[in-house]
Amino acid sequence: MIPVQGYSGAKVSVLGLGRSGLATARALREGGAEAVCWDDNPTARETAEGEGFVCRDLSRHGAFEDIASLIVSPGIPHLYPEPNPVVAAALEAGVPVDNDIGLFFRSFATRQWDSFETMPKVVAVTGSNGKSTTSALIHHVLSEAGRRTQLAGNIGRGVLDIEPAEDGDVVVLELSSYQTDLARSLTPDIAVFTNLSPDHLDRHAGMGGYFAAKRRLFAEGGPDRAVIGVDEIEGKYLAGQLSEGAADDRVMRVSTERKLTGVGWNVFARKGYLSEYRKGRQAGSIDLRAIKGLPGAHNHQNACAAYAVCRALGLAPRVIEAGFASFGGLPHRSQIIAEQDGVTFVNDSKATNVDAAKNALSAFKNIRWICGGLEKEGGLGDLAENAAGVKKAYVIGREAASFAMQLKGVEAEVCTDMETAVAKAAAEAESGDTVLLAPAAASFDQYNSFETRGEDFAACVADALK
């Protein structure tokens, strides 16, 4: 646990008592503060009270009179589409609003660090797609190389739930736009921007607000080194803002669309080969084609970003390559869950938006595509244009019929539920086919999370293959 610094003897309110909220309350108490908690869910309040925390209805008049700060869980809106009433009350009372990420960055470093030979580092990864895989891959490579490392944030443990730093530690954080948008302190040593595509637009009032939330990771604290995906205009813009010139190797540019061989520090992947160029000369390369845990161009982008971070941390190319080779991938992200009679079953339930689904469709051939769910703002766009490898789509979700109608040029069958879709896809699949779950939609019309959806897919596959 990371004890929160700066609030000893003060009362700090915590809104939202899920995983991160309870971890925040514990860390505040460990740092000498009194956590005053609230959640609209009575069961969540009972859990907190069972741990000895005081619960107070923060929506009541005068609730913030003795409160030093309000700490908000990521899922609770603080600005758009409109602030949660408790957040609005805190702002009206002049009480600072923060989240656990801000508390982590203000509390991680301690006086004990004065005795360390090698200062601990924090790597923070953000972006629309690939940030989980990139974060996990960095963590895996470091672990395989014998470096002490911890993985936290939007993946793994809550940021305040990790262990205090030891000499030479590297903490890898996956940070969503919900987390970077509100944190009052953002000071990573290395910050990563993978890419940007439309997502969470209601929460950020459009693409401009969404990009601004991601950009805060780089603008607020000024990382020592920035790894930037430059295949979208936002990445090019961000790299340009951070760099003092073409040769400034504090900014490492990453691409899977073109070669980057200029005078700076660049990493790119073309036709399955990763290349590192520094000062105009090749400094390393990896053949990514045989690495099962990193299929497709989107995972090659993740590999480029992870490679750049590991190089910035001093690892040799061959050490990084060995770590890549033993990486098994993450659950629900291009995860091979079964192979039978020449048919491969792949769970990419995390493909909750159009761009992520495009990446999944580009990574495989002869696809029996299971898709559908709660459609996100912006519709399906040009998704059908990326479906050249799709033999047939099996559409699930409450709005399966309208979803199927948007898949122009793709044979589609409305199945509605996962069991029916998997059974039909498995029965019709031939040797060489891939049955791929890549929904291109959120899960909340039928499931409480993309993980639950992916687990249901895996269970249905197991039943179909009996």
- Distance between CA atoms of 458 and 250, rounded to whole angstroms? 43
Question: Beta-carbon neighbour count of residue 388 at 10 Å?
Answer: 12
DSSP state of 164: P
What is residue 437's three-state secondary structure? strand
Q: Is 128 annotated as a binding residue?
A: yes
Q: Counting Cβ atoms within 10 Å, is residue 60 exposed (0-12), middle (13-18) or buried (19+)?
A: exposed
Strand residue runs (E) in 112-260: 121-126, 149-153, 170-174, 190-193, 225-229, 251-255
Q: Are the C-beta atoms of 436 and 346 separated by less than 8 Å? A: yes
Length of the chain: 466
Q: Which residues pair with 36 in a beta bridge?
A: 13, 54
- Distance between CA atoms of 354 and 438, rounded to whole angstroms? 9
Residue appearing with tokens 């040593």: 189
Number of H helices, E strands in the chain: 15, 20
Q: Which residues pair with 301 in a beta bridge?
A: none
Q: Is 127 annotated as a binding residue?
A: yes
Q: Is 129 annotated as a binding residue?
A: yes
- Taking CA atoms, 372 is separated from 354, 390, 405, 417, in Å, by 11, 15, 11, 10
Q: Is the dihedral of CA 410, 414, 416, 418 positive or negative?
A: negative
The angle at the Cα of 289, spanning 286 to 290, to the nearest 5 degrees, equals: 95
- Distance between CA atoms of 45 and 22, rounded to whole angstroms? 10
Residues with Cβ < 8 Å from 135, sequence gap 6 or more? 123, 125, 151, 153, 155, 172, 173, 174
The angle at the Cα of 83, spanning 104 to 441, to the nearest 5 degrees, equals: 80
Terminal-residue alpha carbon distance, the chain: 45
Element (H, E) at 338: strand 335-340
Give 156's Cβ-side CA count (13 Å radius): 24
- Distance between CA atoms of 270 and 300, rounded to whole angstroms? 9
Q: Is 132 annotated as a binding residue?
A: yes
DSSP state of 432: T
Q: Is 133 annotated as a binding residue?
A: yes
Amino acid (one-letter) located at 440 = A
Numbered residues of the known binding site for ATP: 127-133
Numbered residues of the known binding site: 127-133
